[in-house]
Chains A and B, each alone.
Chain A
Amino acid sequence: MIEARQLARTFTTKAGVVEAVAGIDLDVEEGELVAFLGPNGAGKSTTLRMLTTLLPPTSGSAVVAGHDVVREPAAVRRQIGYIGQGNGAGHYHQVRDEVVLQGRAYGLGWRAAARRADELLDALQLGSLAMRTAGTLSGGQRRRLDIALGLVHAPRLLFLDEPSTGLDPQNRAHLWDHVLGVRERFGTTLFLTTHYLEEADTMAERVMVIDHGRVIADDTPARLKADLAGDRLVLALADPADAGPTREAAERLAPIHAFEADGATVHLRVPGGAEVVPPLLRELDHRGVVVRSAEVVRPTLDDVFLALTGRSLREESEAGAPEPGAVESGPPGGGPPGGGASDPAGAEVAA
């Protein structure tokens, strides 16, 4: 459905030439649900804009829905749907008018477009707002209207650029209900960008992590977390001097990705943490190390990003959005290997 080879885009700014997307290869099969995850300025939107014919690539090629984005942009546009970061409906336009006109834009006749608009407004619970001007809608309603606009021609491939940014949790859940419903019904291929870790984790079947214009990881969320991050073990020791022996014991039992001692508290990063805890506790007991408590924290995609780049995605996302195409420097260093200290997925194990 999508096949990109060495797709690249550079921008010339006052500060010089910025490489927003540095030659990425991408293959997405029909029916997949892929999330493009990365910090602001990583090149997510630039890639999406190239794949949707909004921006010509500087080099490389992309075939989307069977057509080359540079040579046959019109053919690509007929096949794909796109829900951008902004709101698609005109501020002064009535809701239904915009959906009808969107159908017209895809070549439907007036009557077919009107019928299609009514179906979609119904399906997205916008029927009662049909005569309202888009500018008077709430954020959640406007986003539903965007979805209606993106689905008018029942595209086989739907691109969503930061679809849930700015929505409250309830509206975000609604949005996902609709998007997943569409996918279930029509087998639509979905390709979206997000900087929400939880969203990529729970919704996507495949996550591509992008940083500085390059894809640095590409797998299911579960495998990314298992392979790249591993669980985090937090052990509270009775004696800070036992940190050394604890490390030795742990290294004998499992491949330790990271180890850090903070006084009497020890942080370990290890794949399959829950299975490591019982033998580790026995071993430590055997060595006379007293453990007050042990906690296994499941990894998040943020831990994956941290493991890959040494930076936390969470911090970068909160740092605010820079100019599109700009490259972020990011906060230096990564801090302790516990970026997600407040992770709600943490599981206590009594010692």
Chain B
Amino acid sequence: MADAVTVAPRGPVAAALDDTVTVFVRQALPTLRSPSGLVFGMLQPLVFLALFGPLLDGTGTTEAFGLGDAGGDTWQWFVPGVLIMLALFGTTGTGYMLLTEMQTGSHERLLVTPVGRTAMLAGRTLNDVATLVAQAVLIVAVMVPFGFDLHLPGALLGLGVLAVLGVALGALSHALAIACREQQESFYMIQSSIQFPLLFLSGLMLPLEAAPGWMEAAGRLNPLTYVVEALRALFDGRVVVGDVGWGVAVVAALAGVGLAVGTRAMRRANA
């Protein structure tokens, strides 16, 4: 063992960025070491893609409503929704990992180090975003041979919007985890009771135009609806449209709220 360990002093900003990278790498490492973990978090969206997509196609729903770029191409309409589903099923649950680490002592171990609390949230959220984008790229790559049209500039912007949604949901998931630390089982209860209404009221599975008036109105109150519409437009190659503007505004606001709530929770969880 070396006798002394010398640490060069860092400024507050450099330290915060450095800490964020450290936490991000720590969160990402298990997946990097065994990448099969990436697919594990995609199971539900994959099931919807494989078993619900064809159903949607067969019933002619997308044709009936003239959805998708070719006036009713199911995949063009449904795949962007599946990407949102990745966020809804995967990213919203990442806080549970923090709960587990609070239980075992590995979070406590980090709390005693000089790593900043904001960096703890930022690094974890960054990993949520990286995971989400990697999964989204995987889905898009798989769907191109099945006739999904790739409009590259729009698709890249779409991934950007999805990444910002990942920031929002990842940060909120960690805030939820911290709120549930006295009663772990309530985490999944709360998560799933929020996730399904958000899913159905976003027009992600079936067009809200087909829904009764009250449901469509409720869908308009769901911020996710705007993100879904923006993503559909972008993956369709329509970049300069109102849907995209609304979606970007809503997702940016969500991320702002998520980071504020998440940072506050992380700071208060332990002084």
Contact = CB atoms under 8 A, between A and B. Distances in A.
A74 interface: yes
A84 B108 contact: yes
Interface string B223-260: 00000000000000000000000000000000000000
Q: Would you call the interface of chain B mostly helix, strand, loop, or mixed?
A: helix
A53 B270 CA distance: 9
B5 interface: yes
Nearest to A116: B5
Interface stretch (A99-107, A194-202, A224-232): A99-107
Nearest to A181: B1
Contact of A120 (B1, B19, B104, B113): B1
Given A55-B271, A116-B5, A123-B1, A107 B15 contact: yes
A222 interface: no
A92 B5 contact: no
Contacts of A74: 114
A33 B263 CA distance: 38
A152 interface: yes
A54 B25 contact: no
A87 B26 contact: no
Interface in A99-119: 101-102, 104-109, 112, 116, 119
Contacts of B4: 154
B262 to A, nearest CB: 20
A112 B105 CA distance: 25
B271 A102 contact: no
A41 to B, nearest CB: 18
Contacts of B61: none
A140 interface: no
B112 A107 contact: no
B105 A93 contact: no
A104 B23 CA distance: 9
A101 B22 CA distance: 7
Contacts of A174: none
A186 B3 contact: yes
Contact of B5 (A104, A152, A185): A152
A82 B2 contact: no
A77 interface: yes
B5 A89 contact: no
Contacts of B114: 74, 77-78, 105-107
Contacts of B10: 107
Contacts of B22: 101, 104-105
B29 interface: yes
Contact of B30 (A78, A90, A120, A149): A90
A119 B1 CA distance: 6
B44 interface: no
Nearest to B10: A107
Contact of B26 (A73, A93, A108, A154): A93
- Most chain B CB within 10 A, of A80, A85, A104, A112, is at A104
Given A152-B5, A153-B7, A154-B4, A105 B105 contact: no
Given A54-B108, A86-B108, A90-B101, A106 B113 contact: yes
B29 A53 contact: no
B5 A87 contact: no
A282 interface: no
Contacts of B104: 86-87, 90-91
Contacts of A93: 26, 29-30
Contacts of A154: 1-5
A46 interface: no
A186 B100 CA distance: 34
Nearest to A152: B5
5 contacts: A82-B112, A92-B30, A106-B5, A106-B113, A153-B7
Interface of A: 52-56, 73-74, 77-78, 80-82, 84-94, 97-98, 101-102, 104-109, 112, 116, 119-120, 123, 133, 146, 149, 151-154, 182, 185-186
